[in-house]
Structure 1
């Protein structure tokens, strides 16, 4: 961008490239030489490229055409009018000079400040940042003085109170030594600027959202007067989009002259999603974001049901980075997904062979061709053509832009394929789509450039903060300010002068609103220099207060969103009939019933199951499940834990289970050391049990029906491992995360193992028969301490006491929920509150938890 900007400036200002080397100052020659080496792209390579391609730079061609037009017009004897320009480029200034000297020629200057022009001292001190800088330069190029410019016959008096106020406020900085005296005189003459401020309002909103709300209210208010027109003028496209969005609440569509950025439009969003998916084809988030697009058809008439099934299968962690591996696993899980997976594989096949290698560099042209081919494959309907993708005005505009981009792509060089999504967005960032056809005819959102030749009954100047309006003058990456001046380039402040001219012209509208936000992007914003100057004058005359509409508009905006009454949401207290309540629970759900009964209501009565997140991180939970299965298979196979190959066989079982679940081996690498530690511990633990003569039952399943209050309640269990020796049973539960404490088990808040013990002693595990439980223990599988004090266990009399207390508490619990008046509360026990429960959103905890002081 910096090189292109310098190139444009050099051609537009008609500066010979050879001047660049000549202006290098001696005191920074070394730095300048390094910059000059890079500028050879501009001074040598670019002209050479144009010559080789038989092309001409657009700025240079424009200057030649303007000069040719000037030569032709110089011979004209009829009327010739030049309007709508201040002659900011030399070629335009030459054309204006020719027209001004013709017998019937005229140059129409927009907004000559006659009040300042009459002040010889002030006019002579105009700098590049002043609104009149462009006109001053144009008059000098034409060869006339301000007093030689005739007023347009039907124009308003240039010395009107508003014009005089704006002229005074924007007076050249070097001529402000008598500013206070001039302001006092103007205020006295206009009785406190009463006439100048007639029709003026100021908005000083708290933030961008409040500013957009206030502006939207003013636009909506304008529509209440038949025939009245209004326009928002701002260079801040985000503000324009915010206001347009707020107008839709009243069903009013306002056209934004900036259009809709292609990257933010539906078709642009689809193309971006395809690019992101091609860079990460097995990422569940990228897959589903693309599959959910309205353009994604996969060769089907109605892909919706299959997309829903695909979504359910992809829930959970990303299992692989290889699309082929993912597709094979998905087809094994659900063969009906084949049409979708075929489309994804066909689309991915267009990506260059080296496109997955992070070190590879590929031609942008090849990536773009692959991208578009993949997009059409994903968007193809049952007829095989992507007709919906390029349909309508948006589709047609996107097609034309991409055709042009495809033609230019060979000149763009190579990139790493992983960078392509960002590169593509950058390439289309400047492209926009036209506004809506059903926009309201009396409202508009315009940029300052588009507003120059338009007018409205109400003009709102929005985004009046430094860095926005005016924009921050960019720093030249290659030339200092002095270098630019010596080269004949305009100063970086000239753009501010052009913006100031737009502001001054628009500020003279009969009804105008000056609007800004005090906070922008979360940080305090400085008001525009023009607003600061204007307010300083008005505050000095104590004339600002009555014209500040901030509070009034903020109150109306707040009232529009304020409900008639605010009623706190009470915590849910569902009390389903007894016959709807569960008569069977696994032992793990009993703990949930104690700590969070609402979760049991949602899960067992409403039968709602929370979905895993797409692409959630692989963590202890997932790898803990892998270990559980590997331990089970090892124990069932009866492998001797002391055998030399025992560790290797356990690793094989783990890898097989990972493949069965679709987990790529690459994802196991980061956890390898912890897996190795856990497996080494398990082999030692297994050997101890076998040396003691214990017979093990891995993943044993049992159940027992309890008679509680004359009604049967069935309790089910799956024990990680039960070891039997000498008639007694020992129960073990592997944990990959945190373990319950012995106090929690004793108090009945972690009843899983004591309840399994009850089922064992009742003979509920058929393969074991009734057994006396000697002990039960939670065993930590990951990150064990060397002293072995990670585990939580109870044995002997302690175990017997915990079992007895647990049974009594369990019977009381079930009896309580057999009462139809007992509600299923959401996390009712403060000591066991969690930051996030699986059913908290359904219980709407964030709405009532704060009210009760629970969060």
Structure 2
């Protein structure tokens, strides 16, 4: 017997022709075709051929078995064929072989191992034909190795060849070798007629071993092989246009203009004008909007088979979101990389926290994962994590579980709920510490690392939540499969190498939501071949994204040429074959691309650009069309239309008016009532940032602590000489700055800056004592209750840096790491000093101490201190009383206040009609 080969017309009825040939091949068995075997290029194509067969038969049939060649061969029960070396174990072997030779940096070994594994498969496919048995396969491989080794090879090609040989010496056949053995055995045992439908020429779509399998199978059973005709054989007007635009031998073809004019003479009307539109857009959002409008227009016209070819996955995601907003779901056959799922993000956050020594941002991101601590009630978990974040940021703790525990202990709050949250937060930290310890330790084999990861996930209560998540379940199944495959692996890996391996596994794995059935299907370009679609939309068809790629990142075209492997020219031919079949089999194709990205021009893909130019020269039409506008909005009724936005003026229910206001809160209320509303009523205060570097505010806090420590030991300098006082103050400064310097060496510069001021500070302190002042206390918390007209009260509270005793009363001092001139500039509008005087009855002085000048001095509160204090109290009472009575809180801050306000966008100050 011989293979019966058929060239199918590449048009919308291609599958119908294939179904007719299948019915013809099984005519003697109708209506029972169950003994026939039908192999196709992909499972979605099998489903469509099955539907075409039912239409062509026009009656009930017992259908044949449908499958793909590789899936059928690998799934056949052949117990005497050895199982292949798992891909995961093969990568470990390659990694070990590369590490032993020391050719590359350790951080690149997993990537190179993956490239080598793929190249090994290509080498085997190109060099080894279908064997008779395992011994014949080994002999063929040995001959191929010898042939390759005798040729002059450059370094990269030698690397590939040696690794290919090392894999064969492992003692276990790899998956491609087992596949060839299976094909040989199945060809010998052929007992069913075979119908083979390919989506391209057999020489391109089948390996040499697969072609030989078809011939051997045909020696025992009838074989019908169908494939779409090439454009030269098709001899259709559309094929002539494509051949003129994309000649097989471009270097020998006439100039494009000559080809276009010849084409126009032969075809007065273009066969492509009604099939193809090229749409340029200004950006990703416009691209998604135009694509959504086009899909909705097609659906509105009654089309029910629409393909979305996602060359740009980001634009495709945005398009999917816009379609879902319009109530249109898309079935996604491309799937999502596991690395982009929330489940993978949880594991990555856990590993990042372990790798970074519990860096605060990593740990907080991890704690906010929806999978973590799933065994703790949600509200309690959220409160504990929020309290932990506030404590970490307030304390400036950059990293380390111990530092976070200290920050949590320093976060004082007498509220019972806060106490429960603190207890739970401490327990969560304990669990995180256990997980991080599990992920530490010496290098171990990959199965041991996976076991550690499993136990770490259990420690933080994420295992059950991941298993309940659709993508998380697939991720855990992948990890369990890899652990079983690598059970015998003894190669030990450090944490970084294991994490690189795991990242590659997540990047290679895919998650598909199979629960969506929709007329809109998102799929890769090569999966459109021969399938029945009424329209197709190609997203992101610029020269960068719609391009051919042969080989991987590490080995160039010269290496592939040395090794006898397919090169970029072959990939470009395959790309054009995809586009030819797309244009031939889909009657409506819209192609979009962005004209520019980040200020850089982006070109249309060369294939479509050539087609556009040819079409313009031949028929004065470049096929470029404007994007469809978004769906028109419904007309607005002026009577029901919302009013134009005005400046925010919220009111606060009396029960929500704060009963306690800090001195900084009073300053916020005076500066901008709306800012006070956002910060102290809605509690939208920005969380403190943990300083990555020592900033001036941190410097000021260190100065405060050093002075507090010094004055507690030496409240009076009367009995201390200058040298001893300077030594004592310098020692206090060094002790206070020591921790900051250990964490950040830049703190040394700040310490030296402050130490230069120490003699001046001591001189000022002696002058102050000579004037009758004595240090009494530092960091004093104070509060004062002020009665309101409705019988309630408001409490003003704050913390005073330093209190001195004087002949006429207390002196209230606030240290400022500023210059005198800067402090004097803002004194007229200052309310902090009068507010402190209000908090401390009998204050005779309230002043700022300027510590950043060559000469230390104070800037005192202007005017009558008692009157100023009473005025601030009256201001607070009036403001809170009005607020309780329903007064509005307008956003009327000046530019200086708004410049650093976190509520600026919320108040709409920059986007309002009135003042």
Retained in 2: the 8 A contact 1:283–1:615? no
1:379 counterpart SS class:
coil
Is 1:297 paired with 2:373?
yes
* 1:202 aligned partner: 278
* Corresponding position: 1:720 with 2:801: yes
**Aligned residue for 1:280?**
356
Number of the residue aligned with 2:179: 62
Give the Å deviation of 1:720: 1.9
Q: In structure 1, what is the equivalent of residue 139 of structure 2?
A: none
Residue 610 of structure 1 aligns with which residue? 685
Name the SS for the 1:429 alignment partner.
Answer: helix
Q: Given the alignment, which residue of 387, 390, 396 partners 2:467?
A: 390
Aligned partners of 2:859, 2:596: CA distance in 1, in Å?
A: 60
Aligned to 1:556: 630
List per-residue Cα deviations over 1:67-113 (Å, max 9, x = no partner): 5556667xx89666464453233223444566789995443232311
Q: Which runs of 5+ in 2 are unaligned?
A: 1-111, 129-143, 412-421
Tell me whether 1:252 sits opposite 2:328 in the alignment: yes
Which of 819, 829, 833 pairs up with 2:894? 829
Task: Please give the alpha-carbon distance, in whole angstroms, between the structure 2 residues aligned to 1:364 and 1:577.
Answer: 60
Check the 8 A contact 2:439/2:453 in 1, yes or no: yes
* Residue 408 (structure 2) aligned to one of 330, 350, 359: 330
Aligned partners of 2:635, 2:597: CA distance in 1, in Å? 23
Deviates more, 1:805-814 or 1:681-690: 805-814
In 1, the alpha carbon distance for the partners of 2:866 and 2:426 equals: 55
| 2:424 pairs with 1:306 | no
Cα deviation 1:476-500 (Å, max 9, x = unaligned): 745653x644543322221121121
* Cα displacement (A) at 1:204: 1.9
**d(CA) in 2 for partners of 1:533, 1:72:** 50
SS at match of 2:119: helix
The match for 2:847 among 771, 776, 794 is 776
Q: 2:456 matched to 1:374?
A: yes
Change (3 A) 1:777 1:340: closer
Question: Which TM-score applies when normalising by structure 1?
Answer: 0.75
Q: Distance in 2 between matches of 1:824 and 1:341?
A: 41
Distance 1:394 1:723 in 2: 64
1:436 to partner: Cα distance: 3.2
Alignment of structure 1 residues 20-31 onto 2, 5 Å: 20=148, 22-24=150-152
Does residue 347 in structure 1 map to residue 435 in structure 2? Answer: yes
CA contact (8 A) 1:213 1:557 kept: no
Hey, what's the Cα distance between the residues in 1 that align with 2:214 and 2:515?
A: 37
Do the aligned residues in 2 keep the contact of 1:274 with 1:371 (CA within 8 Å)? no
**Which residue of structure 2 aligns with residue 403 of structure 1?**
480
Query: Are the structure 2 counterparts of residues 584 and 324 from structure 1 closer, same or farther at C-alpha, using a change threshold of 3 Å?
Result: closer
Q: Does 2:833 align with 1:753? A: yes
Q: Report the equivalent of 1:458.
A: 535
- 1:696 aligned onto 2:775: yes
The TM-score normalised by the length of structure 2 is 0.71
- The equivalent position to 2:338 in structure 1, one of 244, 258, 262, is 262
Cα RMSD, aligned residues only: 4.5
Q: Is the 8 A contact 2:741 2:748 kept in 1?
A: no
Q: Shift of the alpha carbon at 1:14?
A: 0.8
Tell me if structure 2 keeps the 8 A contact 1:272–1:424.
no
The 8 Å contact of residues 624 and 735 in structure 1, kept in 2 or not, is answered as yes
CA shift digits 1:416-460 (9 cap, x unpaired): 5357555422222010122231332x2211112322242111122
Which residue of 1 is the match for residue 728 of structure 2? 646
Cα separation, 2, equivalents of 1:397 and 1:770 = 69
Equivalent residues in 2 for 1:413-812 (5 A)? Answer: 417=495, 421=499, 423-440=501-518, 442-473=519-550, 477-478=554-555, 481=558, 484-485=560-561, 487-519=563-595, 522=598, 523-544=600-621, 548-551=624-627, 553=628, 555-556=629-630, 568-574=644-650, 587-603=663-679, 606=681, 608=683, 610-612=685-687, 615=690, 617=692, 619-622=695-698, 624-638=700-714, 643=724, 646-647=728-729, 650=732, 654=736, 666-667=742-743, 670-675=746-751, 677-678=753-754, 681=757, 685-686=761-762, 688-690=764-766, 692-693=769-770, 694-697=773-776, 698-700=778-780, 718-727=799-808, 731-736=812-817, 741-742=822-823, 744-746=825-827, 748-753=828-833, 756=836, 759=838, 765-766=840-841, 769=842, 771=844, 773=845, 776-780=847-851, 784=852, 787-788=854-855, 793-794=858-859, 801=863
Equivalent residue number for residue 126 of structure 1: none
Deviation at 1:347, TM superposition (A): 1.8
Correspondent of 2:292 among 179, 202, 216: 216
Tell me if the contact between 1:596 and 1:826 (Cα under 8 Å) persists in the aligned partners: yes
Q: 1:239 to 1:550 in 2, by over 3 A?
A: same
SS of equivalent residue, structure 1 residue 24: coil
8 A contact 1:347–1:377 mirrored in 2: yes
Query: What's the CA shift for 1:251?
Result: 2.9
Equivalent in 227, 233, 241 of residue 109 of structure 1: 227
Q: CA separation in 2, counterparts of 1:603 and 1:103? A: 81
CA shift for structure 1 position 402: 0.8
Higher mean displacement: 731-740 or 579-588: 579-588
| Structure 1 stretches lacking a partner, 5+ long | 26-31, 118-157, 355-360, 381-385, 659-663
CA distance in 2, matches of 1:715, 1:397: 56
Contact 1:288 1:311 in 2 (8 A): no
**Count of aligned residue pairs for this structure pair:** 751
Tell me what 1:843 maps to.
907
Residues 743-778 of structure 1, C-alpha deviations (whole Å, 9 max, x = no match): 5335x223433554x65xxxx635xx453x4x8334
SS in 2 for 1:108: strand
3-state SS, counterpart of residue 776 of structure 1: strand
Q: Which moved more, 1:805-814 or 1:11-20?
A: 805-814
Aligned counterparts of 1:744 and 1:626: Cα–Cα separation in 2: 25
Partners of 2:239 and 2:433 in 1: CA distance: 66
Distance 1:669 1:370, change over 3 A: farther
Q: Deviations over 1:668-704 (max 9, x none)?
A: 6542442464367457625642463431233456678
Change (3 A) 1:374 1:224: same
Residues 529 and 429 of structure 1, relative CA distance in 2, 3 Å threshold: same
Distance 1:271 1:685, change over 3 A: same
Q: 1:263 deviation in Å?
A: 1.6
Secondary structure class of the residue paired with 1:493 = helix
Shift, 1:502, TM fit: 1.0
CA displacement at 1:415 relative to structure 2? 5.7
Contact 2:264 2:618 in 1 (8 A): yes
1:60: Cα distance to partner? Answer: 3.8
How much has 1:391 moved relative to structure 2?
3.9
How far 1:374 sits from its partner (Å)? 0.6
CA contact (8 A) 1:20 1:487 kept: yes
> How big is the shift at 1:560?
9.1
Check the 8 A contact 1:275/1:420 in 2, yes or no: no
Contact in 1 for aligned 2:737/2:747 (Cα 8 Å): no
Larger mean CA deviation between 228-237 and 581-590 belongs to 581-590
Distance 1:101 1:82, change over 3 A: farther
Whole-angstrom CA distance in 2 between matches of 1:526 and 1:196: 21
Comparing 501-510 and 449-458, the one that deviates more: 449-458
Instruction: For residue 169 of structure 2, give the secondary structure of its aligned residue in structure 1.
Output: helix
Per the TM alignment, residue 505 of structure 1 is displaced from its structure 2 partner at its CA by: 0.3
Aligned to 2:203: 87
